[in-house]
């Protein structure tokens, strides 16, 4: 395997994580460790995989290893939507059974998360709020009508929300119309991930700030996971590493690292809430996928998310200057919707990296003997990470189910990317074109 990899290098300005109480000191990988199973990556997929392995095998020693603190990575950086409906590209799949499998898997994941939140009292602003998909102008409205056709074909419930009603919820007349779908849940993602980590079964040992830098065969059918200050010997490795899977030599030239950015305000004061005039606890995604996602949290913070970047070196591809430029753009988006809140500052601007594939296909399964992976969530990380991690553990221990058959049926091999520099040029050009075409929806 490769000797040098690009490690997670996220900025330290994630608002979700900063809002958490200080985490207790973590345990790190030290010396030689032996485990029955090692899971790399403590996001939604890794947490679900480790939990499921422990439930199947309560006597097994399971090590869950992350390069950062739990909640600092991509799983704690999203906009806090647990979405049941597949994204637009999957909704356009020609096979109705394929779409129903995806929908069933996503809903199983959400139910699983809700059960854990209730069982362990995880305080993460979990809410069955549904989701608005909103349009500003003609371009967005055309996308919204297309979305209605897809929902009809799927047989899913929805309702149109017109400007006046929508303004009463959102506190702005910026949007022309929206479609409301009831199956989405909202939450504080970093708090959810931290709570899931804190409630792991006793036979799962979490090692944080312990980047695995190299995988090596041990010559006896097992694997050695090399870290900075120690290593793990194990017969079975589960990679819940999303875009970083390629750093271990797998799915090379098949995953695209993309970062999207968000900014949020401090909590609004009583006077600012009166000026705002809308409700708490809602989320809106854009009908035009390159538009702006907006949320109002339970603790009175407005969130603006837009702007996409191709980040071949992940967090190292960004800079403070880039984030400042993005914050300026986010400010324009906020003021276009809420000019009455011009004096309310942003307190944090952050990015989170995720993996997409050119054919919008997720990978699930065995990469080689003893190495298994769920990789490439294509932007549906909360639900897909949870169910794919759970099912990956089931597959490793041989626990067959209809859900496992379903996830095998809807996954495959991400398609190959063009070589560099053509890949980077193409992705950056496409992002710029999408931003320009969608400027009326930003």
Q: Which CATH number do you get for residue 384? A: 3.50.50.60
196 shares its domain with 331: no
Residue 86 lies in a domain: no
> pLDDT per residue over 68-81, tens digit each?
999 999 999 999 99
Instruction: Rounding to the nearest 10 degrees, give the CA dihedral for residues 177, 181, 187, 189.
Output: -90
pTM for the model: 0.95
Query: Is 55 inside any structural domain?
Result: yes
Arithmetic mean of pLDDT, 124-145: 96
Q: Is residue 7 part of a domain?
A: no
The pLDDT value given to residue 349: 97
pLDDT tier for residue 432 given thresholds of 50, 70 and 90: confident
The Cα–Cα gap between 65 and 57 comes to: 18
What pLDDT digit, counting tens, does each position of 323-378 carry? 999 999 999 999 999 999 999 999 999 999 988 898 989 999 999 999 999 998 77
| pLDDT tens digits for range 87-107 | 777 889 999 999 999 999 999
CATH classification at residue 266: 3.30.9.10
Residue 105 class from Cβ within 10 Å (0-12 exposed, 13-18 middle, 19+ buried)? Answer: buried
Q: Could you report the per-residue pLDDT of 147-197, keeping only the tens digit for each?
A: 999 999 999 999 999 999 999 999 999 999 999 999 999 999 999 999 999
422 confidence band (pLDDT: 50, 70, 90): low
Determine the average pLDDT of the residues in 229-253: 96
Same domain, 234 and 167: no
Query: Within a domain: residue 419?
Result: yes
**Same domain, yes or no: 181 and 280:** yes
User: 69 and 135 share a domain?
Assistant: no
Residue 219 lies in a domain: yes
Token representation of residue 66: 């992350």
Residues 138 and 286 in one domain: yes
Whether residues 283 and 338 share a domain: the answer is yes
Alpha helix (H) residue ranges in 294-399: 320-337, 381-397
Same structural domain for residues 239 and 322? no
Would 35 be classed as within a structural domain? Answer: yes
Q: Is residue 275 part of a domain?
A: yes
* Structural domain range at position 228: 15-76+191-254+368-424
Query: Tokens 């403070």 sit at which residue?
Result: 320
| Radius of gyration of the CA atoms of the chain, in A | 21
| 1 pLDDT more than 50 | no
pLDDT in tens, 38-64: 999 999 999 999 999 999 999 999 999
What is the Cα–Cα distance from 421 to 119, expressed in whole angstroms? 50
- Kindly state whether residue 87 falls inside one of the protein's structural domains: no
Q: Are residues 64 and 195 in the same domain?
A: yes
Q: Are residues 250 and 264 in the same domain?
A: no
Total structural domains in the chain? Answer: 2
């Amino acid at each position: 395997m490769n000797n040098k990899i690009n490690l997670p290098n996220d900025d330290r300005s994630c608002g979700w994580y900063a809002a958490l109480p200080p985490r207790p000191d973590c345990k790190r990988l030290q010396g030689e460790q032996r485990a029955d199973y090692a899971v790399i990556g403590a996001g939604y997929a890794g947490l679900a995989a480790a939990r499921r392995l422990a439930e199947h095998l309560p006597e097994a020693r399971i090590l869950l290893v992350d390069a950062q603190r739990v909640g600092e990575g991509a799983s704690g950086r999203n906009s806090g939507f647990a979405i049941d409906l597949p994204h637009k590209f999957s909704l356009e799949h020609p096979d109705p059974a394929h779409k129903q499998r995806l929908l069933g898997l996503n809903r199983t994941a959400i139910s699983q998360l809700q059960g854990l939140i209730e069982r362990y009292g995880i305080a993460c602003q979990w809410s069955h709020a549904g989701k608005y998909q909103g349009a500003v102008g003609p371009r967005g409205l055309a996308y919204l009508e297309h979305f209605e056709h897809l929902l009809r074909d799927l047989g899913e419930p929805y309702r149109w929300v017109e400007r006046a009603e929508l303004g009463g919820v959102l506190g702005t007349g910026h949007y022309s119309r929206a479609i409301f779908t009831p199956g989405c849940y909202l939450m504080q993602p970093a708090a959810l991930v931290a709570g899931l980590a804190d409630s792991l079964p006793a036979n799962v040992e979490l090692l944080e700030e312990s980047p695995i830098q190299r995988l090596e065969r041990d010559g006896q059918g097992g694997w050695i996971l090399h870290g900075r200050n120690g290593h793990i010997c194990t017969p079975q490795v589960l990679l819940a590493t999303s875009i970083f899977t390629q750093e271990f030599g797998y799915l090379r030239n098949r995953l695209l690292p993309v970062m999207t950015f968000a900014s949020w305000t401090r909590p609004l004061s009583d006077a600012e809430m009166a000026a705002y005039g809308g409700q708490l606890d809602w989320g809106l995604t854009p009908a035009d996928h390159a538009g702006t996602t907006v949320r109002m949290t339970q603790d009175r913070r407005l969130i603006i998310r837009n702007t996409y970047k191709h980040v071949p070196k992940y967090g190292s591809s960004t800079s403070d200057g880039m984030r400042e430029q993005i914050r300026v753009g986010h400010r324009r988006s906020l003021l276009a919707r809420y000019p009455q809140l011009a004096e309310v500052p942003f307190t944090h601007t952050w990015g989170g990296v995720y993996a997409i594939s050119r054919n919008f296909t997720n990978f699930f399964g065995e990469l080689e003997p003893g190495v298994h992976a769920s990789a490439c969530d294509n932007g549906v990380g909360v639900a897909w990470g949870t169910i794919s991690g759970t099912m990956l553990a089931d597959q490793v221990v041989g626990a067959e189910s209809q859900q496992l058959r379903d996830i095998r049926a809807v996954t495959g091999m991400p398609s190959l990317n063009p070589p560099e520099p053509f890949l980077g040029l193409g992705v950056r050009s496409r992002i710029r074109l999408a931003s320009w075409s969608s400027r009326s929806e930003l």
